[in-house]
Structure 1
Amino acid sequence: MTHYLDFEKPLAEIEGKAEELRALARDNEGMDVASEAAALDAKAQAMLKDLYGKLTPWRKCQVARHPERPHCKDYIEALFTEYMPLAGDRNFADDHAVMGGTARFNDMPVVVIGHEKGNDTQSRLDRNFGMARPEGYRKAVRLMEMADKFGLPVITLIDTPGAYPGKGAEERGQSEAIARSTEKCLQIGVPLVSVVIGEGGSGGAVAFATANRVAMLEHSVYSVISPEGCASILWKDSDKMREAAEALRLTAQDLIKLGVADRVIPEPLGGAHRDRAVVIANVGKAIAGMLEEMDGHKAKDLIRARRQKFLSMGSKGLAA
C-alpha cells in the first residue's frame, strides 16, 4: 500500500478510485473498466507532474523523509557485490545506524559507508532511525583508515536527520567523534565520493560527506539543522518549519548554486519511492562518473583538492 504525503491527498483519491475499479473488475468477470481506469491514471499522472514540478523546500523535506524511499541497505544490495560488513569501533560497541564494509563497485574494490534508517518499526528502532552514536563515527574512521592503507576508494551514502543527541552519546564524546570523522575525511589519500540519498542533517551528515565529490538526489535535503529545529531556535515555534526550510536553502538545487553539492541526480516523477530501480541505477551511474573523474589522481592531489573545495565553499553563491 502506497504511503501518501499530506500534499498528495488529492492524488491518493484519484489513484485509489482507479485501483477500486480494477479490483471490482477482478471480482466481476466480464466487467470492462479499462477506459475509466486509464482516464483516472492519466489524470493522476498529470496531477503528479504538477505537484512535483513546483515542490517547496518543505515539501522536498517531506519527500526526502518518505518511509518508502530506498535506504542505504537497498543501494548496497543493488549496486555492490561481495559486500563484507565490518562491525564495531574497537572501543565500545557496534552502531547499527551506520553500515560499512568492503565491497566491489563495477568490479572495483571499494569501501562503502552509510547511514541506515530501517524500513519497518523493529528495524527503525534497531537502526535508531539513522541517528548515529559516537561508536558509529568511530567505526567510520576505522573503515576510512583501512581504505587509505589499502588504496581503496571510499563511497558514502548520507541519510540521517542528524547525530543522536542522547545523554549516553554525549557522555561518550559525540561531538569529538563527529569531528574526528570529518577530519579523517580530509586526511585520506584516496577518492572519496558522497551521495545524499535522503536527509543530510547537521554534523552527522558532514562527518561522512566531507568528500571530493558530493552528489544529491533531486529531492534530497542537506542542512546544518532540521527545519523544525531551526524554527524552534529562531522563532520558538516548531510549526514555522516551512519558513525555516525556505531560509535554510537546503534543497539540492540551492546547494548546487552555493557550491556545496557538485551534481544533482534525477529522481523518477513522484520521488525515488515511485521507481526504486531507476533511482538506484541513476545513483550507480553518478558514483561511477565521479570516481572516473578522479581516476589516476595522486594522493596528495586528492587531499589538496578536497581541502580547497571546503575552504572555498559558499564563495560561488556569494559571488552570484
Structure 2
Amino acid sequence: MPQLSNRQFLEFEKPIKDLYDQIEQLTITQEKSKTDMSSAIELLQQKVIEAKQNITANLTPWQRVQMSRHPDRPYTLKYIEKMCTNFIELHGDRNVKDDKAMVGGFGQLDGETVMIIGQQKGNNTKTRQIRNFGMANPEGYRKALRLMKLAEKFNKPIITLIDTPGAFPGLEAEERGQGEAIARNIFEMISLKVPVICVIIGEGASGGALGIGVGDRVVMMENTWYTVISPESCSSILWRSWDKKETAAEQLKLTGKDMLSFGLVDEVLPEPIGGAHWDYDGAAAILKSYLLKTIQELKNVPAQKRVDDRIAKFGKMGFWEEA
C-alpha cells in the first residue's frame, strides 16, 4: 500500500486529505515541542474514519467510476499476492505471444489449488505501457482460454478478476481476431466442467470484461462498475462531447446496486472503509473469504448441473417486449 506521502486523492476525497494534513502537522509539532498531542491526533483519526464512511456512503455513479480507477487501487496481481500462496504465473497463448495485459496461473487459497486469471494494469507510466493499460489483445483472451482449459483438465476451480476499460481496439488486434477471441471465450466458458467465479475488482467494460466474465457466480466489489461502454465513450456518442460523462454514468445504471437489481450479478462484496485502495489486506481478506465459501458450494454441485445452471443463468438475462 502506498505511503501516505505518496498517496493520490480524488477530488471528492479532499476532506480526508485535509484531515491527514492536520494529523501530519500535529505529529510534527509534537515531535518538535515534545508536547503530548495524542488525544488531538486520536480525535482526528476518528474523524478520518467518519469522513471515509460518509464519502463512500453517498457516492454518485460517476464517483464510483472514479473510485474503480483510483491510482492506488489494488489490481489483479496485488489480490493474488495477498490471497494466494505458491502462485505460478503461466505465459503465452501458444500462437502469437504473451499478452502482459492478461495474467494468470495456478495458486493456492488456504490449500485449495485454483486457476486465477485477470487483467493487470500498471502502477506507473512504464508499467502501464507494458500492460497496455489493462486492455488485452486477442492473444490475451486466447491465453486466458488456454489456462481455463488447463484448469478443467486437472479439475481445478477457475477464478477470474476483471479490471479493464475494454479490449484493445487497435487495428492489429482486429486483424488478429479480437471479436472471435472474445466470442470463443464466452462460448467455451459457458460449458466448462469446473466451478467458475468471476469478480469485477475495478472497471468492467464491454466485451473486454465479458471475455473472462462468464461463470457460475459473477460478483462485483463495492466500488466498481460493469456495463457495455464507458461513460466517456457513451457521452461522446450521444452528445458529441465528454462533458456529459456524469449524466451518462447515471443513465447507464452501471453500479453494483444497479447490476444486482437487474439480475446481472449475484452479489456485491463490501470494501474496507473508504474503499479497497485504503486497505489491500482487508479487501483481499473479504474477497478470499467469499471465494473459499463459494468454491465449496459449487464443488458440491454435479458438473453437468453447474453447466446447465450457467446456461440458464445467462440465457434469461435482459429485458425485451414483443410487439
Give the structure-2-normalised TM-score.
Answer: 0.93
Counterparts in 2 of 1:145-294, with a 5 A limit? 145-294=149-298
Please state how far the C-alpha of 1:40 moved relative to its aligned partner. 3.0
Q: In the aligned structure 2, how far is the partner of 1:79 from the partner of 1:34?
A: 35
Residue 18 of structure 1 aligns with an amino acid whose one-letter code is I
Match of 1:5 among 10, 13, 21: 10
Which SS does the other structure have where 1:294 is aligned? helix
Q: String of CA shifts for 1:222-265, please: whole Å, max 9, x gaps.
A: 11111101111111111111111111111111111111111111
Task: Output the CA distance in 2 between the equivalents of 1:104 and 1:46.
Answer: 36
Distance 1:89 1:45, change over 3 A: same
1:7-156 to 2 correspondences below 5 Å: 7-26=12-31, 28-156=32-160
> One-letter code of the match for 1:111?
M
Cα distance in 2 for residues equivalent to 1:78 and 1:18: 29
The CA distance in 2 between the partners of 1:124 and 1:108, in whole Å, is: 31
CA contact 1:144–1:184 (8 Å) conserved in 2:
no
Aligned residues: 316
Amino acid at match of 2:16: L
Q: Deviations over 1:122-155 (max 9, x none)?
A: 2211111111011000001111111222211111
Where structure 2 has 5 or more consecutive residues not aligned to the other structure, the ranges are: 1-5
Match of 1:312 among 311, 316, 319: 316
Deviation, structure 1 residue 29 = 4.3
TM-fit CA distance, 1:267: 0.6
Letter in 2 for 1:37: I
Rounded Cα–Cα distance in structure 1 between residues aligned with 2:263 and 2:295: 19
- Cα distance change, pair 50–126 in 1 and its aligned pair in 2 (3 A): same
Q: What is the SS of the residue equivalent to 2:96?
A: coil
How far does the alpha carbon of each residue in 1:263-295 deviate from its partner, in whole angstroms, 9 at most, with x for none? 111111110011111110000011112212212
Partners in 1 of 2:256 and 2:155 — Cα distance?
30
Q: Which runs of 5+ in 1 are unaligned?
A: none
Coordinate RMSD, CA, aligned: 1.7
Q: Secondary structure at the match of 1:184?
A: helix
Give, in whole Å, the separation in 1 of the partners of 2:227 and 2:136. Answer: 17
CA positional deviation for 1:10: 2.9
In structure 2, C-alpha distance between the alignment counterparts of 1:134 and 1:176, rounded to whole Å: 8
1:296 equivalent in structure 2:
300
